[in-house]
Structure 1
Amino acid sequence: MIIFDKKRKGLKNDYEKLLNLKDWYEKISEEASRSSMMERVDIKGQELINQLDLLNAKLIKIQEKHNNLQENQQKLHDSLLEEHKLLNQYFENYS
C-alpha cells in the first residue's frame, strides 16, 4: 500500500507538471501566433502606406498637368479673342 501511495503521489506530481507545461506551451504558442500576426499586419500596413504614397504622387502629377492644361486653354482662349478682335478691326477698316 505504501508503495502504491508513493507511486500515486509521484504520478500526481508528474501530471501537475505536465499540466503546467501544457499551459506554458499554449501561452507561448498564442504569443508567437500574435507576434506573427502583428508582423503580417505591420507588413501589410507598410505596403498600403507605400501604395497610398505612390497614388498621392500620381495625383499630384495629374493635378499639375490639369493646371497646365487649364493655363494653356486660357492662353488659347485669350489668343482667339485677340485674333477675333483684330479680324473685326480689319473688316471694319476694310469696309
Structure 2
Amino acid sequence: MLNQLKQSLRHNLVLTLVCLSLLLTACTNKVTTKAEYIYPPQAYTAPCVKTAFTGETYGDVVIQLVKVTAERDKCASQVDNLNKWINQTKTAN
C-alpha cells in the first residue's frame, strides 16, 4: 500500500512538473528583429567629376587628358576606399 502511494505521488509530481514546464514556455516574450542599416562614409560616395571637353587644338586634348586622368584616379581612389570600408565592416561584425 505504501509503495502504491509513493508511486502515485511520483506520478503526480512528474505530471505536475511537465504541465508547469509547458505553461512556463508560453510566458516567454516574442523576439523582434530590427534591421540596422550601415552606410559608408559620405566621402566615399561623392559623385565623380566629369569635365566636358571644350578644346579645339591638340594641345587642348593633352590638357583634357591630364584632367580626365586625375579625375579617374580620384574616382578609383573612392572606389578603393569604399571596398576597404566594406571589408572592414564585414570583419568587424
Higher helix share: 1
| Pairwise TM-score range, normalised by the shorter structure | 0.3 to 0.5
Which structure has the bigger radius of gyration? 1
- Normalising by structure 2, we get a TM-score of 0.39
